[in-house]
C-alpha cells in the first residue's frame, strides 16, 4: 500500500486514497476528507483525471454519489469534486469577506447554534485558502473567537443526550460529525498548513498504536513526501510543538512503518 501510494504520484495517489475509504467494508472518512478537501480546483481536476476504478468508470463523482449516504457530508464532497473552488490568485474583497463572516456568525455564534451546515459548506468549501485565512482574522476580530474553535463549538451540538433515538437520527448526527471534520480540515489548512499536518502526524501515531490505523500513517506520510519544502516546515513545527525531532528517531520509525510490507 505504501510503496504503491508513492509510485502513483501526487495526484493519482490522492485519488487512490480517496477511493480506499469505502473499500474494506467500513467507512474511513478521514482518507476521503484529507485526499480531497482544501485542494485547489486545479489539483482536483488532476486527481479526477488520474483516478482509476473500473466499477465506477474511473469517475470519483460516481464513487461519491453511489457510496456516500445522501446527506450534507456527501454534498460537501460533491461540491469539492466539481473542481470550481475559488482560485488562490483571486482578489480578496474585504466587504465580501465580512459578509461571509456575518453569515457564518449567524449560524455559529448564536446561543442555540444549531443547523446551518449548508451555509457553512457553501462558504468554506468554495473559498480559497487566502480568502479563508482573511475570514479567520475577521471572525476573530468580530467575535473574539478563532474560526476553527467556533466550528468545534458548533459541532458540540452533535452530542445529543437522548434516552432513545432513531437510526435515522444517528445517521444524521454521524454525517454532521464529518461535516465538522471536513470544515476544520479546510480551515486549519488555510490558516496554518504545516501546523495542521504536524498535528495529523502526531494523531497518526496514536491511531496506529490504539486502532491499527496504518492507512492513516501511509496516506499522510505519502502526501507530505511530495513537497520537500512543506515537509521541512512540518518538521520545524513538530519539533516546536511536540518537542520531538522528526529528522531523528521518530522520523526513522515512521519511514520504517511506511515501507513495511505488513501495511501493504
User: What are the two backbone dihedrals, phi and then psi, of residue 12, each rounded to the nearest 5 degrees?
Assistant: -65, -30
Predicted local distance difference test score (pLDDT) of residue 169: 39
Question: Does the pLDDT value for residue 126 go beyond 80?
Answer: yes
pTM of the model: 0.86
**Dist. CA 37–CA 246, nearest whole Å:** 26
Exposed/middle/buried for 243, CB within 10 Å: 0-12, 13-18, 19+? exposed
Q: Name the residue with higher pLDDT: 213 or 159.
A: 213
**DSSP-assigned letters across all residues of 166-224:** -HHHHHHHHHHHHHHHHHHHHHHHHHHHHHHHHHHHHHHHHHHHHH--HHHHHHHHHHH
Which residue range forms the structural domain that includes residue 224? Answer: 2-263
Instruction: Work out the pLDDT band at 16, boundaries 50, 70, 90.
Output: confident
**Dist. CA 94–CA 178, nearest whole Å:** 29
Predicted local distance difference test score (pLDDT) of residue 63: 92
CB atoms within 10 A of CB 110: 11
Q: Give pLDDT tens digits for 150-180.
A: 888 887 654 433 334 443 433 444 456 788 8
| Pair 34, 42: CB distance under 8 Å | no
Q: Residue 93 in 3-state DSSP?
A: coil
Exposed/middle/buried for 43, CB within 10 Å: 0-12, 13-18, 19+? middle
> What total of structural domains would you count in the chain?
1
DSSP alpha helix (H) spans, the chain: 2-8, 10-20, 29-36, 41-50, 60-67, 72-81, 94-108, 117-124, 129-143, 147-155, 167-211, 214-225, 228-242, 249-259
**Which element (helix H / strand E) includes 248?**
none
Question: Does the pLDDT value for residue 102 go beyond 90?
Answer: yes
| Pair 143, 103: CB distance under 8 Å | no
Amino acid at each position: 500500500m505504501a510503496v504503491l501510494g508513492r509510485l502513483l504520484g501526487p495526484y493519482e495517489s490522492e485519488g487512490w486514497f480517496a477511493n480506499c475509504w469505502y473499500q474494506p467494508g467500513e467507512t474511513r472518512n478521514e482518507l476521503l476528507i484529507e485526499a480531497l478537501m482544501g485542494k485547489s480546483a486545479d489539483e482536483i481536476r488532476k486527481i479526477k483525471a488520474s483516478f482509476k476504478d473500473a466499477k465506477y468508470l474511473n469517475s470519483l463523482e460516481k464513487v461519491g454519489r453511489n457510496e456516500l449516504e445522501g446527506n450534507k457530508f456527501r454534498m460537501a464532497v460533491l461540491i469539492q469534486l466539481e473542481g470550481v473552488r475559488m482560485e488562490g490568485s483571486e482578489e480578496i474583497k474585504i466587504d465580501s469577506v465580512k459578509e461571509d463572516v456575518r453569515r457564518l456568525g449567524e449560524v455559529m455564534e448564536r446561543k442555540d447554534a444549531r443547523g446551518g451546515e449548508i451555509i457553512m459548506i457553501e462558504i468554506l468549501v468554495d473559498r480559497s485558502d487566502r480568502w479563508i485565512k482573511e475570514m479567520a482574522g475577521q471572525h476573530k476580530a468580530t467575535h473574539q473567537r478563532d474560526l476553527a474553535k467556533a466550528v468545534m463549538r458548533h459541532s458540540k451540538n452533535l452530542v445529543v443526550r437522548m434516552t432513545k433515538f432513531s437510526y435515522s437520527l444517528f445517521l444524521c448526527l454521524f454525517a454532521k460529525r464529518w461535516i465538522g471534520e471536513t470544515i476544520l480540515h479546510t480551515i486549519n489548512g488555510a490558516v496554518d498548513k504545516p501546523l495542521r499536518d504536524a498535528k495529523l502526524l502526531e494523531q497518526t501515531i496514536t491511531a496506529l498504536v490504539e486502532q491499527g490505523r496504518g492507512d492513516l500513517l501511509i496516506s499522510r506520510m505519502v502526501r507530505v513526501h511530495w513537497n520537500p519544502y512543506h515537509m521541512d516546515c512540518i518538521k520545524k513545527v513538530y519539533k516546536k510543538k511536540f518537542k520531538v525531532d522528526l529528522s531523528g528517531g521518530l522520523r526513522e520509525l515512521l519511514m520504517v512503518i511506511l515501507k513495511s510490507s505488513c501495511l501493504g
